[in-house]
Structure 1
Amino acid sequence: MTKRIKDPISFSQLAQDTILNFIGMQGEPAAVRISVASDSPLDPRYEVTLIDLDERGAEDFIFDGNGFEVLIDPKSLELLEGTRIDWVETLTESGFKFDNPNLKPIGTTPIEGELAEKVQQVIDEYIRPGVAQHGGNVALVEVRDDVVYVQMGGGCQGCGLASVTLNQGVERILKEKIPEIKAVVDITNHAAGSNPYTTNSAG
């Protein structure tokens, strides 16, 4: 049976009003299911859906969203604790915005701490000089859970051999200099690269 709990997440007034409006438009009593569709730090995604009241799952947790019932599955609950949900509208899109302290997207956390400082030093001293010879650049975006996230620019963005630069250059050097590094992840949007140095040599 469902388990009733105290509010694990909160809603802005606008988010509450929007949900109540959606329920009113449906014309029948409904509950709101909130779930984590992807817990990847590169692209955390969430789902907010209206469901019939008889669609409650046996393992669901339920709480009062101030005018509507909210259901969350156990796995999502662990990841959503302390989250605040807002409704935002811009000229191009509208939707629910999740401020989740448990799933901060990569690049939103300050670069700080002893490990991050070591990584930055290695990039500045051993990696950037090499890629700069090809008109490229490698920037540290974040260090999280001993994984280094970098972004390539200049001639490396869109380069056909950017993965070679990453695996045989950036990752190899970082792991040699800092053994505790588990992996290096390139978050560059290479499709947006407009002026790669060459596709026949490392980016």
Structure 2
Amino acid sequence: MFNITDEAQTYVKDLFAQQDDRELGLKVDVERAGTPAAVVSFNFCHPKDLTPGYDKFEYEGFLAYIDQVNFPYLKESEVALKDSGTGKKLTITAPNAKGEEPKEDASLEERIKYVLAADISPELASHGGFIDLVEITKDKDVILNFGGGCQGCSSVKATLEQGVEARLRSRFPEIKSVRDVTDHTKTDNAYM
């Protein structure tokens, strides 16, 4: 399922040897799994701090922990050590991490979530923001929540009306409206 080449295992083993903490493991996660914005990440972790659902995998000189929900996204993946021109670095090939765009017969919710994750959130990410689907009402009102730099941002109304709503309604004409239920009084991380 998750292959780490011998050369990459040696490299990771050396990274662990440089740490003062012998209880560390390698946590492998897939953020935004199943979307074009999917990213595979590696982080040191303490196994006792992991949430239930992580399985342990033994490699030469270290243990890796992968959440079971990520198994399908990491199928046929490989971690290798590649020459980057200025040295060697770990790279991962994970052909299933991004998933596939939902077919036309998929639910409206699946298709909207995909568009939000694939097309809209990556643009908002440049300002530290993101957007999530809260629900689709029986009347086909799409309810959204903005987060990160979009929460409390003074431009969020324009972003919603001229960007998000326009794009969703052009892709999904059955939508009646697009509404924002974010608490914009919290401006701690607002972009503007």
TM-score (norm 2): 0.47
User: Larger Rg: 1 or 2?
Assistant: 1
TM-score (norm 1): 0.44
